[in-house]
């Protein structure tokens, strides 16, 4: 797999040192190269504005393919990210990883113009993905979907996720 740079967007800005310590420990554990792990404070009042700002910053920095990944999907594996990259290298403009609750755990794109799909989306709702797909279709983007996975939004989701992370917790 090609070398990647990981940007971790966080909020609030005042938690930079704590976030950096946590991310550096995890990066070391995962074997990531520290120089390829960048922390950035989130910008924007809504999730759509934050996603848009992150993608725009990435494209301005010269990246040709970018994926935003939710941190609450314990089922996500590297193979799905690789699949998203392959789709973006093919005939897709946008790739979504649908979540079972109607949202998505991953969105990837290869052009800054696609950022407009994040405007006026009903975030954290059962129609998040549906509305995003409709906006993408209306704009003429070629879209592909990954496997549907679960994310963690409720106590019940967390109880299920804990057993996936550590089966001894059943």
In this predicted structure, what is the pLDDT of residue 6?
85
Distance CA 105, CA 24 (A): 23
Residues of the chain with pLDDT under 70: 1-3, 28-31, 34, 166-170
Q: Of 68, 136, 50, 135, give the one whose Cα is nearest residue 107.
A: 68
**Domain contains 53:** no
Q: Are 129 and 99 within 8 A, CB to CB? A: yes
Question: Under a CB-based contact definition with an 8 Å cutoff, are residues 1 and 82 in contact?
Answer: yes
Q: How many domains does the chain have?
A: 1
Q: Which string of DSSP letters, residue by residue, matches 26-65?
A: HHHHHT--GGGEEEEE--SSSHHHHHHHHHHHHHHTT-S-
pLDDT for 1: 46
Q: Torsion-angle region of residue 3: left (phi > 0), alpha (psi -120 to 50) or beta? A: beta
Owning domain of residue 126? 67-169
Residue 140 zone, left/alpha/beta (φ > 0; ψ -120 to 50; rest) = left
- Residue pair 68/81 in contact by the 8 Å Cβ criterion: no
Give me the pLDDT at residue 166, please.
Answer: 65
In the prediction, which pLDDT does 108 show?
97
Residue 1 falls inside a structural domain: no
* Domain presence at residue 31: no
CATH number at 78 reads: 3.90.550.10
Residue 48 lies in a domain: no
In a domain, 58, yes or no: no
Q: Are 149 and 75 in contact (CB under 8 A)?
A: yes
In a domain, 93, yes or no: yes
pLDDT for position 31: 67
30 within a domain of the structure (yes/no): no
- Residues 143 and 146: their CA atoms lie apart, in Å, by 10
Is residue 125 in some structural domain? yes
As a whole number of angstroms, the distance between CA 11 and CA 40 comes to 9
């Amino acid at each position: 797999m090609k070398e990647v740079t990981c940007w971790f967007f966080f909020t609030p800005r005042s938690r930079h040192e704590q976030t950096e310590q946590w991310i550096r420990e995890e990066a070391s554990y995962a074997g990531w190269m520290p120089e390829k792990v960048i922390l950035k404070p989130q910008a924007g009042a809504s999730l759509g504005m934050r996603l848009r700002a992150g993608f725009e910053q990435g494209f301005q920095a010269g990246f040709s393919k970018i994926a935003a990944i939710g941190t609450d999907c314990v089922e996500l594996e590297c193979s799905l990210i690789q699949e998203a990259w392959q789709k973006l290298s093919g005939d897709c403009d946008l790739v979504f990883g649908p979540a079972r609750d109607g949202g998505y755990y991953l969105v990837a794109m290869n052009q800054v113009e696609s950022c407009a799909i994040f405007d006026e989306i009903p975030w954290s709702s059962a129609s998040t993905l549906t509305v995003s797909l409709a906006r993408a279709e209306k704009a003429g983007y070629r879209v592909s979907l990954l496997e549907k996975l679960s994310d963690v939004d409720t106590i019940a989701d967390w109880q299920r996720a804990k057993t996936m992370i550590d089966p001894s917790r059943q």
